[in-house]
Amino acid sequence: MTNKLPDDWEEKPLFKYLELVSSSVQQFQGTKKYIDTGALETGRIRGGVDVDYATRPSRANMETKEGDVLFAKMKDTEKVFLISKEDVGHLYSTGFAILRIKDKTKLLPKYIYFWLRSNDFQRLKNKESIGATQKAIGESQLKKFQILVPPIKAQERIIALLEKAEQIKNWRKEADTLSKDYLKSVFVEMFGDPHDNPKKWAVDEIRKDIKEIKYGTGTPPVFSEKGHAFVRATNVKKGRIVDEGMLFIDDKEAAKIAKCKLKVGQMIIVRSGVNTGDTCVIPKKYEGAYAGYDLILELKNELINPVFLNELLNHPYYQFKLKQLSRRAGQPHLNSEQISTLKIIMPLKKLQDKYVAIIDKVNDLIQLQGKSSEDSLSLFDSMMQKAFKGELV
């Protein structure tokens, strides 16, 4: 430690007050739930499978006690979990390291839980992980670790503060989910379920309002570190364009595929691959970007609002229909004729526009919530960092 610790705090080797639980399972009758690393995320068990003693996987070989804290051994994987009374009956994978407190007058389980989630611990875990294929931390490496041990009262204060900060962070996530759920409920209220069409809207082919439909480039360009965004199928997810994995092309490459230049309000429909049928509307941010091997759709905007159409085509009913259209002997594939002749409900245009105005307002709120989420995450990370340097209490 470079910082001076409070007088009654100490820094000790990890296994001074903790021990690493050995792998072994006592024979049992019936079945138990087996939790592997894929069935758990930090603070939450998301799955698991029932296994019996004789045929359980070889990695289903860890048992726990209440108050144990486990974490995934794999490099670049933050999965930390505090064992409650209800979790003791499960089996856990040997892909987890399980820490058990030896001296309960020195450490609290929830303090260990938060410490294992700290950037300092995760960074050191990644640095010390070894292995030819899947790098992971082992006992010999963990013996090098030091842990800051405040008095129990100080640990209780740290836990209380971090729990509040985490609660604020989780509220922001819940608010985002509620906003999106609200839009789904408004859609159903205004237009009904497209499958049943209870409001008896006219049903007609999309071609009635298509101004132009064309294909993106089929020839992969030479990519650059910066320049014009090149929107590929992998960038189209859940009705929008995502920045993750975005590639770029320079002016020279862009000139070769001028027909693929995107305008605000156009739609991209993924025409092949695992996410065939995914759609998005081009927002202001991506005006002047270029499209890859996908369909580019421009509407007259007389009968159909493109944002409404995007919402409609991302409805489970129309996603199912698009998947059906794309089925071929080999790779899924869509063409312009299939899209043009796809029949959809045609609510009144003014009602579509009203719904799109609601979407805009909710998206503005989500953006504000996103900023709030960033702030709450920064608060939590900052408090975590200070807590385990003796600077929080």
Here the CATH number for the domain that contains residue 21 is: 3.90.220.20
Confidence label for 252 from pLDDT (cuts 50, 70 and 90): very high
319 and 361 in a single domain? The answer is no
Residue 1's pLDDT is: 43
Residue 44 domain flag:
yes
Residue 187's pLDDT is: 93
255 and 386 in a single domain? The answer is no
Confidence label for 337 from pLDDT (cuts 50, 70 and 90): very high
Residue of higher predicted confidence among 386 and 267: 267
What is this structure's pTM? 0.56
Residue 272 domain flag:
yes
207 and 336 in a single domain? The answer is yes
Which residue type does 202 have?
A
What is the rounded average pLDDT of the residues 111-125? 94
20 and 106 in a single domain? The answer is yes
342 and 352 in a single domain? The answer is no
State the residue range of the domain holding 111: 10-149
pLDDT tops 90 at residue 113: yes
Residue 4 domain flag:
no
Phi, psi of 208 (to 5 degrees): -60, -25
100: number of Cβ within 10 Å? 17
- CA 364 and chain centroid, separation: 21
Tokens of 267: 């739609």
Distances (CA, A) of 142 to 20, 69, 107: 9, 15, 18
Residue 23 domain flag:
yes
169 and 220 in a single domain? The answer is no
323 and 213 in a single domain? The answer is yes
What is the rounded average pLDDT of the residues 326-341? 82
Residue 265 domain flag:
yes
Residue 168's pLDDT is: 73
Unique residue bearing structure tokens 């905007």: 301
Which residue type does 224 have?
S
pLDDT tops 70 at residue 319: yes
Residue 211 domain flag:
yes
Residue 2's pLDDT is: 45
Residue 3 domain flag:
no
Residue 372's pLDDT is: 53
Lowest mean pLDDT among 204-218, 230-244, 258-272, 363-377: 363-377
339 and 317 in a single domain? The answer is yes
Residue 124 domain flag:
yes
What is the rounded average pLDDT of the residues 319-332? 79
* 142-183 confidence digits (pLDDT tens): 999 999 999 999 999 889 888 888 887 776 666 667 777 888
133 and 185 in a single domain? The answer is no
Confidence label for 184 from pLDDT (cuts 50, 70 and 90): confident
What is the rounded average pLDDT of the residues 13-18? 96
* Count of domains for the chain: 3
35 and 84 in a single domain? The answer is yes
Radius of gyration of the chain (CA): 27
144 and 187 in a single domain? The answer is no
- Residue 333's Cβ-count burial label (10 Å; 0-12, 13-18, 19+) is middle
Quote the CA–CA distance of 393 and 379 in Å, as a whole number: 15
What is the rounded average pLDDT of the residues 52-73? 97
Confidence label for 290 from pLDDT (cuts 50, 70 and 90): very high
278 and 239 in a single domain? The answer is yes
